[in-house]
């Protein structure tokens, strides 16, 4: 008889695992059933702000492979609109209910299980409301609901975005592009708290130049509704009128089912897995994506870093192992990029507060440079910040804020970080040069030279 694989979660990690397992084991060797709560599989949640803002025209453009593709081409039994409600490890089965069929319950046995339930939005008490007009933007279903609200007649005119992280700033820009008046509320001193505050202030300046009313250092205390619709957001810095509220407060690992089944959670609240993405101490149970914790390659500590890049890689690793191969996931350094209007932001490794918490003694170097030779048309300012270990010179983290060609320079720094390079070694890197692409001393090299001087 064929083995049976059940996958919980039909997005990046879950379907990557299912696809890789299928490539290695045919339908006669391995039956695969995948449960997904929503309508869609294998889609780009990161693209939702660009869909809302009109830069992506169709929802289908955000879908890599739809359920029918998996069913027909991969021979994977994808069951959308099914919510898994329990995992019985003793009986080796999952319990799920249909969300469209009167709540009909099904039980599916498994030999192998992939837990890829992702993350769920952080929802403070004040956000738990029945008032219409309040939206998260984690799934395509969320994005479709928000677009329906924005295209009603008459359309909303005033928006409040709560949270100044990646999704928050991207959604704020999308709403500006749709013609709304937007207030961004962020409780940290500066938006984009994934970078240090001295770099976050550059992001705030760009947001203000875009026309946003940025209220940093402010906390939401409640929502006000009238006739069943949101009309205002109350904060400790005042009340702001709103016809629509978008929540970008962050996410936490979706581990309720896992904890209920007795699967081990780590200090981050996410599932503990080994290098092969196997759940610690569990035979035939795997986990991947935004519900697992990873090892940070710089600090050596467990971290929860929910990014689609990691989810795809982790799912692939799990699927290869389920399919009879051998693969490992080597950890993360937390590299991420985003764009605010024409301002690009990149980061990798540890921030100052992360380095301090991990017990490092460190120096910082911050330089101003340009993306191209200063005399070349289109040259724009760029700020690069490096954090290096004081005694060894090893790079611990890096941040870049600038315009054209800024963000992807973080990849050079991520590779240096991954390979434990020192800033002295980085200062001698042989990087490409031509006036349309870089000054003769690339901003990365200038920053490395300054960091090396700080160490001396």
Tell me the catalytic residues.
46
Q: How far is the C-alpha of 151 from the C-alpha of 354, rounded, in Å?
A: 42
The whole-angstrom separation of Cα 392 and Cα 275 is 28
State the pairing for strand pair 112-115/285-287: parallel
Tell me if residue 405 falls in helix, strand or coil. Answer: coil
Using CB atoms within 10 A of its CB, is residue 242 exposed (0-12), middle (13-18) or buried (19+)? buried
Q: In angstroms, what is the C-alpha Rg of the chain?
A: 23
Beta-ladder partners of 453 = none
* Burial (0-12, 13-18, 19+ Cβ within 10 Å), 252: middle
Other CB atoms within 10 Å distance of the CB of residue 454: 16
Distances (CA, A) of 346 to 3, 191, 249, 381, 402: 44, 14, 20, 15, 9
Peptide bond into 279 cis (omega under 30): no
**Exposed / middle / buried, residue 60 (Cβ in 10 Å: 0-12, 13-18, 19+):** exposed
DSSP 40-84: -SSB-GGGHHHHHTTSS--GGGGBSS-HHHHHHHS--EEEESEEE
Among 452, 389, 453, smallest CA distance to 426 is for 452
User: What residues contact 372, with CB distance under 8 A and at least 6 apart?
Assistant: 378, 379, 380, 405, 435, 436, 437, 438, 439
Tokens 């992001």 belong to which residue?
203
Q: How many CB atoms lie within 10 A of CB 228?
A: 9
Residue whose structure tokens are 């994506």: 289
């Amino acid at each position: 008889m064929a083995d049976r694989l059940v996958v919980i979660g039909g997005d990046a990690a879950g379907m990557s695992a299912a696809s890789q397992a299928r490539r290695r084991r045919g339908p006669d060797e391995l039956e695969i059933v995948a449960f997904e709560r929503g309508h869609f599989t294998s889609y780009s949640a990161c693209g939702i702000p660009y869909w809302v803002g009109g830069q992506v025209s169709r929802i289908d453009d955000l879908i890599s492979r739809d359920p029918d593709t998996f069913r027909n081409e991969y021979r994977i039994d994808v069951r959308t609109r099914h919510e898994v409600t329990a995992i019985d490890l003793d009986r080796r089965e999952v319990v799920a209910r249909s969300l469209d069929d009167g709540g009909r319950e099904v039980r599916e046995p498994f030999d192998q299980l992939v837990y890829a339930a992702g993350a769920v939005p952080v929802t403070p008490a004040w956000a738990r409301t029945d008032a219409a007009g309040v939206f998260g933007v984690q799934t395509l279903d969320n994005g479709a609901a928000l677009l329906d609200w924005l295209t009603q007649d008459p359309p909303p005119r005033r928006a409040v975005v709560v949270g100044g992280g990646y999704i928050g700033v991207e959604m704020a820009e999308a709403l500006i592009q749709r013609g709304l008046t937007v207030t961004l509320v962020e409780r940290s001193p500066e938006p984009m708290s994934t970078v240090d505050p001295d770099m976050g202030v550059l992001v705030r300046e760009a947001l203000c130049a875009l026309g946003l009313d940025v209220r940093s250092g402010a906390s939401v205390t409640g929502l006000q509704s009238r006739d069943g619709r949101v009309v205002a957001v109350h904060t400790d810095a005042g009340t702001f009128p709103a016809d629509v509220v978008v929540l970008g407060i962050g996410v936490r690992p979706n581990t309720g089912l896992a904890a209920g089944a007795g699967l081990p959670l780590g200090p981050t609240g996410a599932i503990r897995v080994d290098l092969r993405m196997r759940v610690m101490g569990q035979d035939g149970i795997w986990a991947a994506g935004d519900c697992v914790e990873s090892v940070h390659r710089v600090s050596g500590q467990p971290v929860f870093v929910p990014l689609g890049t990691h989810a795809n890689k982790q799912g692939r690793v799990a699927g290869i192992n389920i399919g009879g191969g051998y693969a490992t996931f080597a950890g993360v350094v937390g590299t991420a990029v985003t764009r605010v209007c024409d301002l690009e932001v990149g980061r990798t490794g540890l921030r100052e507060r992360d380095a301090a918490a991990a017990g490092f003694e460190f120096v910082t170097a911050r330089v101003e440079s340009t993306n191209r030779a200063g005399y070349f048309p289109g040259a724009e300012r760029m700020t690069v910040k490096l954090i290096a270990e004081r005694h060894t010179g090893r790079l611990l983290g890096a941040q870049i804020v600038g315009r054209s060609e800024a963000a992807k320079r973080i990849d050079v720094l991520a590779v240096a970080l991954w390979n434990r390079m020192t800033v002295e070694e980085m200062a001698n890197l042989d990087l490409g040069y031509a006036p349309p692409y870089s000054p003769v001393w690339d901003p990365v090299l200038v920053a490395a030279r300054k960091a090396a001087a700080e160490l001396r």
